[in-house]
């Protein structure tokens, strides 16, 4: 089973699946392979509806978050489709297995004051202050994913037109506007680098190597603590904040979908939530009873 899973992952890698997806699917399929090994199940048995039902039941007993469970099922479904295409399987067992519905959760976002606190903390003195400020400004300016930020090259920045070229999910390229503040922060950061070249990574770690996704998450975690934020903050928090703040200030969904790199508009619609304060403000100005003169 593990050998089949390795072939499947090589197949996904050849189709330019992201490193994050490959890592997640690899862990999920390894868990399934271990389950098969403990029960001495061959390929035919492992992909029977009854056996898959028992595996899914074992996952349910672990009390995983619904979306984590769905990701594991998605990995197994994709693996099954691959085996069907290769002729290893002749029937799709998932036709008899209903999938649980995806849990709808509002994305966590920061208020404007919290974003300012993060940016102010990133700008504090230190050898990496210029880099940290450029990082935070760019992500909040353009709503980039963690993998998109760490995959940027200096040549991807168009300082003249004020846009950044991003290679997103599915190896799809898109151009996103960048604020003047973010462009200035990036120029200030690059001016601290010795002889930067167009094909060099845009962001480097403290050792002068390309910044990784884990390194980026570590930076955010530390700066969130230093800024005194009570909640957990990640690069995705700024991406969520970017989307939420744009919508709250009049950006249309289609434009936001393009900037975020979402395949489906339904994915972008999760950001249509608004704060309670904004709802109250709209209510106060719109409800006819609130417009009546007080006697």
Residues tagged active-site: 145, 169, 236, 239, 262, 271
CA separation for the pair 132, 34 (Å, rounded): 42
DSSP SS3 for 152: coil
Structure tokens belonging to residue 253: 């969904």
Instruction: Write the CA distances from 291 to 86, 276, 280, integer angstroms.
Output: 68, 20, 14
Structure tokens belonging to residue 240: 């969520």
- Residue 290 sits at φ, ψ, to 5 deg, of -80, -10
CA separation for the pair 59, 142 (Å, rounded): 37
Kindly state the DSSP code that residue 260 receives in the 8-state scheme.
Answer: H
DSSP SS3 for 56: helix
Neighbouring C-alpha atoms within 13 Å toward the C-beta of 174 = 22
Nearest to 179 by CA among 119, 117, 265: 119
């Amino acid at each position: 089973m593990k050998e089949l899973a390795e072939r499947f992952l090589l197949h996904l890698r050849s189709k330019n699946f992201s490193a994050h997806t490959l890592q997640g699917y690899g862990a999920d399929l390894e868990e399934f392979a271990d389950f098969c090994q403990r029960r001495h199940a061959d390929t035919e048995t492992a992909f029977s509806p009854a056996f898959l039902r028992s595996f899914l039941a074992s996952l349910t007993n672990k009390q995983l978050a619904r979306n984590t469970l769905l990701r594991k099922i998605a990995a197994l479904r994709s693996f099954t489709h691959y085996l069907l295409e290769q002729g290893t399987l002749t029937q799709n067992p998932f036709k008899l297995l209903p999938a649980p519905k995806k849990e709808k959760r509002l994305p966590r976002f920061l208020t404007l004051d919290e974003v300012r606190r993060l940016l102010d903390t990133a700008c504090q003195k230190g050898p990496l202050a210029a880099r940290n400020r450029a990082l935070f400004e760019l992500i909040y300016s353009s709503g980039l994913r963690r993998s998109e930020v760490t995959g940027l090259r200096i040549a991807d920045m168009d300082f003249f037109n004020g846009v950044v070229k991003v290679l997103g999910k599915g190896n799809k390229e898109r151009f996103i506007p960048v604020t003047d503040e973010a462009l200035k922060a990036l120029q200030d950061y690059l001016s601290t680098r010795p002889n930067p070249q167009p094909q060099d990574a845009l962001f480097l770690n403290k050792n002068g190597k390309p910044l990784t996704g884990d390194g980026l998450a570590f930076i955010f975690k530390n700066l969130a603590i230093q800024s005194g934020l009570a909640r957990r903050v990640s690069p995705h928090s700024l991406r969520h904040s970017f989307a939420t703040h744009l919508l709250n200030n009049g950006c249309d969904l289609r434009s936001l979908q393009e900037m975020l790199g979402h395949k489906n508009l339904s994915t972008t619609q999760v950001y249509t939530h608004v704060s309670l304060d904004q709802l109250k403000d709209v209510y106060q100005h719109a409800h006819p009873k609130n417009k009546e003169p007080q006697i």
